[in-house]
């Protein structure tokens, strides 16, 4: 077995964000061998993104018992002489970004039914958003957030179980991607319509509608299937771009709420953003960039103003990431 194959077998696909973003938009045909197709996809992705020298056609060596020989083989002198098989690769679904968008692959009848329900809710989210944008009807705004809230609730309860009155359950909700989006929709559902509140859920819903729609079109028009690989690459890039854009929209949303003087909603959304800072790498990277920009701005100001800016920055930094308490 080559070293490249060993590295591939030990690669942690579960926590590889690039692989997660790519695989979230890969759809394996229902009549295909799921395990074989997944292995082939992982091999091609690994060669293109991790190790260009990796041979995608290299297979595992056959067990010693299956190799024919003219004479019986002597038993190894020590147990260490028998190499242990490599540990199986983890295939658990990652939390970001596939935690929001389940791939539409084959499964049990119940799973296929749930995938259909998810698609319908994503589709309704997009439709109601368009109704709100073109008619400025508040009902379209509320139905858009309501359909998204139902979807996030289903995905959340499927991941962590039904609601329980326990503190650890609340922590799991707030640190789960679907839980954060659910809280997002509930914060903005009762108030006056705000376009920035719709954009994060609508963009994600549009991506999740596009995948199954492409599969259906490809099944009707075979010529479209030739563009499947390019489509999946484009969708993966779009999804990563949407995650970064959603983080940027958090700042715009807080500013918009401040301009509206919606203090209660602004505080609630700021609390959600503080939680996302600790679990969402895109949110953390964005706010760190804002902090660097504030530092450069403060350095150009007169000394008294610089001190005020730096004290304000230090206050918000301690508020978001408080210093650990010394051990008693």
The domain total for the chain is 2
- The answer to whether 82 touches 6, Cβ cutoff 8 Å, is no
pTM: 0.59
- Same domain assignment for residues 257 and 129: yes
- Which domain does 288 fall in, by range? 280-321
With left for phi above 0 and alpha for psi between -120 and 50, is residue 161 left, alpha or beta?
left
| CA–CA separation, 47 and 58 (whole Å) | 12
- Same domain assignment for residues 149 and 231: yes
- Same domain assignment for residues 219 and 116: yes
- Same domain assignment for residues 316 and 187: no
Q: Which two tokens stand for residue 97?
A: 């970004």
Q: Exposed, middle or buried: residue 76 (CB in 10 Å: 0-12, 13-18, 19+)?
A: exposed
User: Tokens 């295939």 belong to which residue?
Assistant: 91
- The answer to whether 206 touches 126, Cβ cutoff 8 Å, is yes
Selection from 278, 290, 283, 282 nearest residue 319 by Cα: 278
| CA–CA separation, 244 and 103 (whole Å) | 21
Selection from 217, 189, 215 nearest residue 201 by Cα: 189
- Same domain assignment for residues 302 and 192: no
Is residue 285 assigned to a domain?
yes
Contacts of 75 (CB under 8 A, 6+ apart): none
Q: What is the pLDDT along the chain (328 residues), one digit of tens a residue?
A: 788 888 888 888 877 777 776 776 565 554 456 677 788 888 888 888 888 888 888 887 655 443 344 444 444 443 334 444 454 444 444 333 333 333 444 456 777 788 888 899 999 999 999 999 999 889 999 999 999 999 999 988 888 888 888 888 888 888 888 888 999 999 998 888 888 888 888 988 888 888 888 877 877 777 777 777 777 777 777 777 777 787 778 878 877 877 777 778 888 888 888 878 777 777 777 777 877 888 888 888 888 888 888 888 777 776 665 544 444 4
């Amino acid at each position: 077995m080559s070293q490249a194959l060993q590295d591939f077998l030990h690669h942690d696909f579960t926590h590889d964000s690039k692989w997660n973003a790519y695989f979230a938009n890969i759809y394996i045909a229902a009549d295909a061998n799921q395990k074989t197709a997944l292995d082939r996809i992982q091999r091609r992705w690994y060669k293109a993104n991790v190790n260009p020298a990796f041979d995608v056609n290299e297979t595992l060596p056959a067990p010693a018992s299956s190799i024919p020989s003219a004479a019986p083989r002597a038993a190894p002198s020590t147990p260490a002489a028998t190499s242990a098989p490599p540990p199986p690769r983890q295939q658990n679904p990652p939390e970001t970004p596939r935690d929001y968008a389940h791939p539409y692959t084959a499964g049990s009848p119940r799973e296929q039914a749930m995938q259909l329900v998810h698609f319908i809710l994503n589709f309704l989210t997009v439709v109601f958003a368009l109704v709100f944008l073109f008619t400025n009807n508040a009902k379209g705004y509320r139905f858009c957030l309501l359909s998204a809230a139902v979807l996030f609730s289903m995905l959340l309860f499927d991941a962590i179980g039904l609601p329980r009155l326990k503190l650890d359950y609340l922590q799991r909700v707030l640190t789960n991607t679907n839980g954060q989006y659910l809280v997002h929709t509930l914060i903005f559902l009762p108030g006056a319509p705000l376009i920035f509140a719709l954009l994060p859920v609508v963009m994600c819903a549009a991506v999740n509608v596009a995948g199954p729609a492409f599969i259906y079109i490809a099944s009707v028009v075979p010529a479209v299937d030739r563009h499947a690989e390019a489509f999946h690459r484009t969708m993966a890039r779009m999804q990563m771009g949407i995650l970064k854009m959603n983080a940027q929209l958090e700042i715009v949303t807080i500013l918009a709420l401040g301009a509206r003087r919606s203090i209660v909603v602004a505080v609630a959304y700021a609390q959600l953003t503080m939680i996302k800072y600790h679990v969402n790498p895109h949110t953390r990277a964005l706010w760190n960039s804002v902090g660097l920009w504030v530092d450069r701005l403060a350095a150009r100001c007169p000394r008294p103003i610089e001190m005020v800016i730096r004290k304000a920055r230090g206050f918000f930094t301690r508020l978001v990431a408080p210093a650990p308490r010394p051990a008693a």
